[in-house]
Every structure is written in C-alpha cells, then in structure tokens.
Structure 1
C-alpha cells in the first residue's frame, strides 16, 4: 500500500498467523480481527484494510486470543524469526 501502511491480510500472512494470504483474508472477512488505530477499535471486514506500525490487533487462533502491537510491516514472508520481529505480544495484567 504505502511505506507507512500495509494490507492487514498481507501483514497477517507475513507475520505467519495464516498459511496463505487467502486464509488471512478469510479470517478478516469472518470478522474475527479487531484493529485499534489511534485509540479507536474497529472490527475489520475486508482484507484490504490498512494496518500501521503502532496499531494493535486482537484475534483468536486455535482457541487462543492473540493481542499484539504491530512493530514493523515487513517486506516479505520470511523465516519465523523475521516474522516474530513484526509484532510484540501484549501481556494481560
């Protein structure tokens, strides 16, 4: 999209939360991904929605609730170590 934003389905795929980009898009279209951008939380409905560095995402995978902050957008779908550098998990207090 741009240097400051990335499609959410592409980001989920690059961060290895989905095996394929189409699986990531389906996850978003099911309404299970919530985005917090500039203090406003919204439930995403399209894979083309934009995610930025500093945004928070909340979604469920395999019965686990994932709450994370986007740290980088990434250039490609790389190895697992590179994918883990794209986000920081937010621990519940």
Structure 2
C-alpha cells in the first residue's frame, strides 16, 4: 500500500494520529499541522523524510514520515510508518503546583492573588 506521495490528512489518519480523516482535515484547516515548518492544506502531499509537526491538546508532536500510507493500517504497522521525534515532557517537579484555597473562603485578597500569580510563575 506504499505510494510515492499521499495527502497529509490521509496519512495522519492512516498512522492513527487522528481518529477520523475529517478530524485530520479540520486540524490542517485550523493551522495545527505543519510540514517542514510551513502550514499546510489537507491536500498537501507528503513523502518519506518529511517532518510533520502536529499540535494536539496544546503540545506539539514531531513526526518524520518513514513510509507513505494511503489506507488505515493496524497499530504495529502504523508505528513503523513514522518516526517519533517529540521531546519528552518536562518533569513533574518543574511544573509549579496549583494554589489551592479552602472552599467557601470567598474571593482572594489582592495579596493572596499576587501570591498565587507568583506561585504560578507569572
């Protein structure tokens, strides 16, 4: 099922990045998909060696095309068709803790609000 080039929305669906092809098309229209650093339309062709950045849930996934697939395949074969280059997420220790307030204490005072913003890193 390998062809020299295939549409980017079909490839993203075939390698199971998106559950449906229409979700992949919508992501391309919204600008969440980049091919070699450029925003693309859903009809853009991908070839082996191309780098794709996909923004899902606020995080970028970096994928390199190893094999072009036009039809959806099983998960083991889909994993072989792409190379994952996404850096690991930051350690949980580096993420600031949320400021928790007791229920029913009302709105924070100006001083408490500033402390909360300082804790969040703003």
> Structure 2 length normalisation: TM-score?
0.65
Q: Structure 1, unaligned stretches of length 5 or more?
A: none
Which of 1 and 2 has higher RCO (CA within 8 Å, sep 6+)? 1
The corresponding residue for 2:66 is 71
SS of aligned partner of 1:34: strand
1:43 corresponds to 2:39: yes
Q: Distance in 2 between matches of 1:69 and 1:18?
A: 16
SS of aligned partner of 1:47: coil
Q: Distance in 2 between matches of 1:81 and 1:64?
A: 24
The runs of at least 4 aligned residues of structure 1 exceeding 6 Å deviation read none
The corresponding residue for 1:24 is 24
Q: Distance in 2 between matches of 1:73 and 1:5?
A: 6
SS of aligned partner of 1:58: strand
1:8-58 Cα shifts (integer Å, max 9, x gaps): 00000001011111111001110111111xxxx3111x2111111000001
The corresponding residue for 1:9 is 9
Q: Name the structure where helix makes up a greater proportion of residues.
A: 2
Counting matched residue pairs gives: 87
Following TM superposition, by how much is the alpha carbon of 1:75 offset from its aligned partner in structure 2, in angstroms?
4.5
The corresponding residue for 2:78 is 83
SS of aligned partner of 1:3: coil
